[in-house]
Amino acid sequence: MKHVLLVFLGGGLGSALRYLVGRWTENAFALFPFGTFIVNIAGCLIIGAILGISLRFSSFSQNTVLFIATGFCGGFTTFSAFAYENYALLKNGDYLSFSFYTFGSLALGFGAVLIGLWLSRLI
């Protein structure tokens, strides 16, 4: 039950922060879904770093990994919003933004995980 609570609390914090980032970016960047883009790339960086650190240091607890990687990153990042926003871009005929958003998210997301893992080795 403790693990469920850790994931729940981390997910709540991640979701609240995702909401705030979305609000912050909604007016400034109305033509492109930067809020989801930013949180998904940042979440990839965080999860790469956390999982890399947990592999390096046995003192990094399973509870911390559950709270941050599963809970926080799970609540912070969002695939459903990514999929819907891509649908909206296609529906509006904005194929350039669709291409940048889709392929940029995949490339930068994967790259952010690798950078997070690399950064974890510097600690």
d(CA 21, CA 35): 6
Cα distance between residue 36 and residue 42, in whole Å: 10
- Give CA separation, 8 vs 26, 73, 80, in Å: 27, 11, 19
Rounded to two decimals, the pTM is 0.89
Q: What is the distance of C-alpha 39 from the center of its chain?
A: 5
CA dihedral for 90, 94, 95, 99, sign (positive or negative):
negative
Is the sign of the CA dihedral 91, 92, 96, 99 positive or negative?
Answer: negative
Q: Which two tokens stand for residue 114?
A: 């690798």
Q: What is the pLDDT of residue 103?
A: 98
Query: Which among 104, 106, 86 is positioned nearest to 94, based on CA atoms?
Result: 86
Each residue's pLDDT, cut to its tens digit, for the chain (123 residues) gives: 999 999 999 999 999 999 999 999 887 666 789 999 999 999 999 999 999 999 998 878 999 999 999 999 999 999 999 999 999 999 999 999 999 999 999 999 999 999 999 999 998
Summary count for the chain: helices (H), strands (E): 6, 0
